[in-house]
Every structure is written in structure tokens, then in C-alpha cells.
């Protein structure tokens, strides 16, 4: 524990201003997502832009790809969440995934994980010796799935974020991004709160539970 604590302190001292900005933007972004606030998307774009650079610098190629995907999906989600119906209320509402939705999400996750694992294994052998194909690919694939479900306001997006956060905490710590590792610990707490909050909202708007 003493070694982990000292590594954490040393890592904080070596953390760049850019990483601090990225972490702060990320935490506020996830908190706004929990609150179903559309402004989570512009902050998300700032966060992901920073982490594309940081991930490439640390040979976290799977995480770099995830942040490129995040950036695209942040724009897509911003458009979807901004849509209004004739009553000026948001067109998109919180819903639960059906059995078919779960099957599609799991299929999407495993395809992403396989593709990323193969790509990262090649990258590790060719030009990125610090890559961790299995863990990096798993974390990235879970994040792809969570982001996709978030844009559709599916409650289960938070389950995928919880999985992503648990996998990312040690991954970034090992790579030396200690403050970012701490960020994922904060994300984990917010994701659990987000899951509970969205379930509460869904039940409140569903006549079966009203």
C-alpha cells in the first residue's frame, strides 16, 4: 500500500496541466450526463480531444480509438438530445434495453473487443511495445458500447460505464497517468449514481411504476 500511495503522489506531481484540464472536463461531463443535461456533450468533446493526444503519447491505442469514437458520438448524441417534439419537449427519453437491445449491445461489444485485440496485438509487435492488447481492448470495447447506449438514453449505458471504469483504473495507473486513474475512480462512483438516478427517472415516467 505504501508503494501504491507513493506512486500516486509521485504521479500527481508529474501530471501535466493538460491532463488536469482533461480530468476536470471529464468529471463535469459525466456528472452532467447523470443529470441528463445536454451540456455534457460539449465538455465531452473537450475531454476526448485531450485524451486522444494523451493516449497516443502513452501507447494506449485502444483508448485513443475510443476517444476518437467518443468525439464522433458526442456530436451525434448532442444532435439527438437536442431534438424536440411538437410540445417542445425532448424527443428522446430514458428507456430500458429490450432483450434484442441487449443482444445487439453484447454483439457490438464482443466484435469491438476482438477487432481491437487483433489490431493492438499487431501494434504491440510492430511499433507500440507498451500496448496492452487484452486489457486495453476490453476497456475500449466496453466504452464504445456505453457511449453508443448513452446517445440513445438507454439506462444500461451506466452498466457499461461501470465496467469501463473498473477496467480503466489499473490500466491508466500502470501507464503512469495517475490522476487519470483517479478520474476513473470518480467516474465509477458517478456511474453507480447515474444508474440509480436514471432508473428512478424511468420509473417516474412509466405508468407501470408510477
Q: Where are the domains of the chain?
A: 16-205
The predicted pLDDT at position 12 comes to: 63
**CA distances (Å), 102 to each of 68, 85, 108, 112, 197, in order?**
24, 27, 10, 15, 20
Cα 111 to chain centroid, rounded: 18
pLDDT in tens, the chain (210 residues): 666 666 666 666 677 888 889 889 999 999 999 999 999 999 999 999 998 888 888 777 767 877 888 889 999 999 999 988 767 777 889 999 999 999 999 999 999 999 989 988 988 888 778 778 898 889 989 999 999 999 999 999 999 999 999 999 988 888 777 777 888 999 999 999 999 999 999 998 875 554
Q: Are 149 and 191 in contact (CB under 8 A)?
A: no
Amino acid at each position: 500500500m505504501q508503494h501504491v500511495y507513493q506512486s500516486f503522489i509521485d504521479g500527481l506531481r508529474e501530471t501535466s496541466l493538460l491532463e488536469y484540464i482533461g480530468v476536470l472536463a471529464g468529471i463535469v461531463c459525466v456528472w452532467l450526463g447523470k443529470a441528463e443535461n445536454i451540456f455534457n456533450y460539449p465538455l465531452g468533446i473537450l475531454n476526448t480531444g485531450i485524451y486522444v493526444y494523451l493516449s497516443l503519447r502513452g501507447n494506449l491505442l485502444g483508448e485513443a480509438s475510443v476517444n476518437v469514437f467518443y468525439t464522433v458520438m458526442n456530436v451525434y448524441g448532442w444532435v439527438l438530445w437536442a431534438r424536440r417534439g411538437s410540445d417542445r419537449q425532448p424527443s428522446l427519453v430514458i428507456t430500458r434495453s429490450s432483450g434484442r437491445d441487449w443482444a445487439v449491445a453484447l454483439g457490438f461489444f464482443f466484435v469491438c473487443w476482438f477487432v481491437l485485440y487483433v489490431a493492438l496485438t499487431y501494434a504491440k509487435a510492430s511499433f507500440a511495445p507498451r500496448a496492452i492488447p487484452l486489457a486495453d481492448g476490453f476497456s475500449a470495447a466496453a466504452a464504445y458500447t456505453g457511449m453508443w447506449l448513452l446517445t440513445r438514453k438507454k439506462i444500461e449505458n451506466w452498466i457499461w460505464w461501470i465496467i469501463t471504469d473498473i477496467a480503466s483504473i489499473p490500466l491508466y495507473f500502470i501507464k503512469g497517468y495517475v490522476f487519470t486513474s483517479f478520474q476513473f475512480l470518480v467516474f465509477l462512483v458517478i456511474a453507480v449514481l447515474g444508474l440509480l438516478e436514471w432508473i428512478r427517472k424511468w420509473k417516474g415516467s412509466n405508468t407501470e411504476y408510477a
